[in-house]
Amino acid sequence: MQRALIFHGLSAARQAAIEGLERGQAIEVVFAVSGLAPRASKRWAQTLPVDRLVDQGPGSLGLRLQRQVIRARREGIGKLVLVGTDLPHLCSADLLAAFEALAGSALVLGPASDGGYWLIGLSPQVSAPRLFAGAQHPIPWGSERVWASTLEAAAAEGLTPALVQERGDLDRAKDLSAWR
């Protein structure tokens, strides 16, 4: 199931990259993984519809997300959209909508039906570590308070997010019932 979800998400991202190129927007598809040795990563990357594979590194979800933002900024990546691999209904239009929203907003969020978010997009000038660490309290990753905590952190950074469509993700066994 995880393999199917990974291929589905990466295929949607690849399609968004193709459609983005047709609109004059270059989109690089980067897949962050953890737990793979370098040779295994290289072999796996050759089977996936990605431009490249990077190491996700250890730590909480917030730390891993922030690490990808730091990497992208260091590499000079402009608009950045991060999504997970647990999105059975993800489509290229979702990703393109997020990139388009970044033209007018420094922050884009995709609310998840469980009280979290499934997508976060940042404009080039934003790194905003509090978005991943929390404003006054740590973001309670994996809970129904992620959305509210992220909005508080965004406000503390002076950011008002643009929103894309709500989606459901697969965090728990009960979430599978919606995926048929």
Q: Is the residue at 178 inside a domain?
A: no
Q: CA 61 to CA 69: how far, in whole Å?
A: 12
Residues 1, 173: Cα–Cα separation, whole Å: 12
Q: Is residue 173 part of a domain?
A: no
pLDDT tens track, the chain, 180 positions: 778 888 888 999 999 999 999 998 899 999 888 877 878 877 877 888 888 889 888 999 999 999 999 999 999 999 999 998 888 889 999 999 999 999 999 999 999 988 899 999 999 988 888 899 988 889 999 899 999 999 999 999 999 999 999 987 655 555 555 555
Report the CATH number that the domain containing residue 66 is assigned in CATH. 3.90.550.10
Q: Is residue 45 included in any domain, yes or no? A: yes
Angle at which helix 2-22 crosses helix 92-101, to 10 degrees, equals: 50
Question: Parallel, antiparallel, or unpaired for β 30-33 and 52-55?
Answer: parallel
Report the distance separating Cα 75 and Cα 55, nearest Å.
14
For residue 176, tell me if it sits in a domain: no
What range does the domain containing 114 cover?
A: 2-168
Task: Identify which of 111, 86, 112, 95 has the alpha carbon closest to the alpha carbon of residue 12.
Answer: 95
- The structure tokens listed for 88 are 């059975």
Distance of alpha carbon 30 from alpha carbon 70, whole angstroms: 14
Question: If phi over 0 gives left and psi between -120 and 50 gives alpha, with beta otherwise, what is residue 59?
Answer: left
Query: Is 179 contained in some domain?
Result: no
Residue appearing with tokens 């796996």: 44
- pTM, entire model: 0.89
- The reply to whether 156 falls in a domain is yes
User: Does residue 39 belong to any structural domain of this protein?
Assistant: yes
How far are the Cα atoms of 62, 65, 71 from residue 59, in angstroms, in the given order? Answer: 8, 10, 16
pLDDT of residue 44: 77
Domains identified in the chain, total number = 1
Q: Which of 86, 106, 92 is nearest to 165 (CA)?
A: 92
